Amino acid sequence: MIIIKLSSKIKHITENQYKKIIQSLNFDELSCPKCNSKGLRAHASYSRYVDIFKRSHKVTIQRLRCPECGSTHAVLIEDMIPYSIASYSLIVEVIADMDFLESSHAAYLKDKYLNYPFDYDSFCKLNTRKNCLNFLCCFT
């Protein structure tokens, strides 16, 4: 995965905003996260939903392929979490507002995600295909 960090945050990204950001990128300048080679090429795309709580909408995510090692990488905008429809900002907001939940699970989540030095990059590294943080299901 390749994370594009913007100068100003976009809390709820739209399809058009994402497309403009992708069109502004020079893929030749991006480095492969696996082998560090430059010269990535557009490979494919996939649709995913972003945000929750009645603000969900579809965004087409660009995938790039490294010509050196053959690995493929999704291009995400900072605040988008891999394998999650919720943005990082929204997850932090939901956990911080869990006062209505007094369960031990809610207390554990608050302790884990709000009391430790935990940032966006760390969250993305933890939330992988093999270790997906599906804790928002406790709110439904």
Q: What is the pLDDT of residues 89-118, one digit of tens each?
A: 777 777 666 665 556 666 666 666 665 555
Residue 6 in any domain: the answer is yes
Confidence (pLDDT) at 46? 93
58 and 8 both lie in a single domain = yes
- Sheet strands (E) in 12-129: 41-50, 57-65, 72-77
> Whole-number mean pLDDT of the chain?
77
Query: Do the Cβ atoms of 79 and 10 come closer than 8 Å?
Result: yes
- Tokens read off for 137: 């299901």
Query: Do the Cβ atoms of 43 and 72 come closer than 8 Å?
Result: yes
25 and 73 both lie in a single domain = yes
Query: Do the Cβ atoms of 49 and 85 come closer than 8 Å?
Result: yes
98 and 32 both lie in a single domain = no
Confidence (pLDDT) at 84? 76
107 and 66 both lie in a single domain = no
Q: What is the pLDDT of residues 26-84, one digit of tens each?
A: 999 999 999 999 999 999 999 988 765 556 788 999 999 999 999 999 999 888 877 77
Of 58, 77, 96, the residue at which a domain comes to its end is 77
Confidence (pLDDT) at 78? 83
98 and 36 both lie in a single domain = no
Quick one: which of 9, 59, 1, 61 has its CA closest to 30? 1
Name the pTM for this structure.
0.69
Range of the domain at 107: 88-130
Based on the structure, what is the number of domains in the chain?
Answer: 2
68 and 106 both lie in a single domain = no
60 and 26 both lie in a single domain = yes
Residue 12 in any domain: the answer is yes
140 confidence band (pLDDT: 50, 70, 90): very low
